[in-house]
Structure 1
Amino acid sequence: MVPDTAPDAATHQQSNAAAPADVAHPKAIKSYVLRAGRVTTGQAKALETLGPRFVLDYAAQPLDAAAAFGRTAPLILEIGFGMGDATAHIAQVRPEDNFLCCEVHEPGVGALLKRVGEGHIENIRILQHDAVEVVDNMLPEGTLDGVHIFFPDPWHKKRHNKRRLIQAPLVAKLVSRLKPGGYIHCATDWEPYAEQILEVLSADPHLANTAEGYAPQPAYRPLTKFENRGLRLGHGVWDLVFQRR
């Protein structure tokens, strides 16, 4: 039997294609990098049995969240969830919220579906599609209560920094989709990226920082295996939580 395990992964949400050096956030940017990885037996079974219920079809039209979730509740968008450990935990400790989760990596989708089945989690729906297109075409302005972006690909090399997901044009789109009082919560273990995120979020006139600089880790966000490994190696983790004015 194939073991139902897969390496922990960061969100890894950026573009495959190189971007022009003079373009801060090119139109062609994607919210992901397609990564190699095989679907395990357990993930494949979850995709087959639970996918039809919990994976939504992408459509270039506004999402009917109440119909998708079978209820009306605050809607939180998560961009990239890796293998879904944190996503499943947060959905369980916040049962009053609906979580719309974008991830293109099929093993990750299968892993989260497996956790959904094991934990009898009802408040998660998945879109296996580029999150930027989801925001553009499925989420009208003022529909979100929160946005989670945990451990996006940091693109460590300076010449690749322009590929990073969290830049002013995308943040402006996300802010426009937030209701007043809604929030954006980002987390990264790469300090230069944390500095960039802080700068970008602070510059948006419609956002207010909930902390002086970096935020304490919110109680709902668990430490993942990936994060724990980094902490053991002496890496820091930075949370940023900004609220729409």
Structure 2
Amino acid sequence: MSENPTAPATTAAEPDAPEAVAVAAVRPAAPGPRRSEPMFPDGTGPAADPAGSHHERRIRSFQPRRSRVSPTQADALRRLWPTWGRDIDGLSRIDLDAFFDGRPVVLEIGFGMGEATAQMAAADPDTGILGCDVHTPGQGNLLGLAERNGLSNIRVANGDAIILLREMLAPASLAGLRVFFPDPWPKKRHHKRRLIQPEFIALATTRLAPGALVHCATDWEPYAEQMLEVLSAEPTLENLYPGYAPRPDFRPLTKFESQGLDKGHVVHDLLFRRRGA
């Protein structure tokens, strides 16, 4: 039972398997704009397709959904996006030091509705969390949680994480990478859509500082095996455990994970460290 049925950033959508980043239900609200209409035409919120056509098409593991944004989420996006949000347009590099007021920064790919992200941010206020997602309701919900709880260490990036890593983050600029419950794409013909692939990890590790932690979690056994194989094969990473890791205290136990555990699902955590001095 994957909490994030899609990983929000990998690779150009194919029509046979549309996907969205979070499955957490939100209260029905007024219908969202038609796909041809921007949700935030005044530029105060996340763009529908921030990278546009300036980058090559690839097989993506996600498809943005922009419907069912509640009035509270939309209000948070309009007010907070100009300060705490960033579209992944691939046109300029993000100055993480300025964006996070000098904090070390962990990139979290796929935060769903943001509850666990907000808990981790509250528990570690000296670390910045850059949450990358394409799910507009979740983006608004996380920004609202950050404001209500006084969490000044959260920022939200909207778009493809591949473009974010490759075009917009400097080498060795991240203190960590988190990918929790990405879409497992269980059908064999869809395995190419999985986020944790050798090419993705090779790119991501170039953006990690020495000693940075890579933390993945999944409740899909075959995907856990693939994650362990891919991460173990990356020469710049070392496993902190002889195989899978126990769930660390800093990763909150979410509602969806608890439901999965009640059904007998086994959750696997993987903790790897970027080699180097």
Alignment TM-score, normalising by the size of structure 2? 0.79
Q: From the superposition, tell whether residues 240 and 155 of structure 1 become closer, same or farther in structure 2 (CA, over 3 Å).
A: same
CA shift for structure 1 position 217: 0.8
Alpha-carbon distance in 1 for matches of 2:125, 2:132: 19
Alpha-carbon distance in 1 for matches of 2:266, 2:63: 24
Q: Does 1:17 align with 2:14?
A: yes
Partner of 1:130: 160
User: Are 1:210 and 1:242, in contact at CA under 8 Å, matched by a contact in 2?
Assistant: yes
Mapping of residues 1-245 of structure 1, within 5 Å: 9-10=3-4, 12-13=6-7, 15=11, 16-17=13-14, 28-30=58-60, 32-35=62-65, 37-59=67-89, 60-69=91-100, 71-245=101-275
Q: From the superposition, tell whether residues 27 and 168 of structure 1 become closer, same or farther in structure 2 (CA, over 3 Å).
A: farther
Alpha-carbon distance in 2 for matches of 1:66, 1:74: 8
**Which residue type is aligned with residue 149 of structure 1?**
V
Aligned residues: 231
Alignment RMSD, CA only?
A: 1.9
Alpha-carbon distance in 1 for matches of 2:3, 2:233: 29
SS of aligned partner of 1:33: coil
Q: Which blocks of at least 5 consecutive residues in structure 2 are unaligned?
A: 17-55
- Once the two structures are aligned, what percentage of the paired residues are identical? 48
Q: From the superposition, tell whether residues 219 and 11 of structure 1 become closer, same or farther in structure 2 (CA, over 3 Å).
A: farther
User: Are 2:218 and 2:267, in contact at CA under 8 Å, matched by a contact in 1?
Assistant: yes
Alpha-carbon distance in 2 for matches of 1:176, 1:98: 19
Deviations 1:84-117 (A, max 9, x none): 0111111111111111111111011011111111
Alpha-carbon distance in 1 for matches of 2:224, 2:72: 35
Deviations 1:141-176 (A, max 9, x none): 111110000011100111111110100000001111
Runs of 4+ in 1 over 6 A off after TM superposition: none
User: Are 2:239 and 2:271, in contact at CA under 8 Å, matched by a contact in 1?
Assistant: yes
Alpha-carbon distance in 1 for matches of 2:258, 2:66: 23
Alpha-carbon distance in 2 for matches of 1:58, 1:197: 26
Bigger mean CA deviation after superposition, 71-80 or 59-68: 59-68
Alpha-carbon distance in 2 for matches of 1:130, 1:150: 16
Alpha-carbon distance in 1 for matches of 2:174, 2:112: 21
Alpha-carbon distance in 1 for matches of 2:171, 2:103: 17
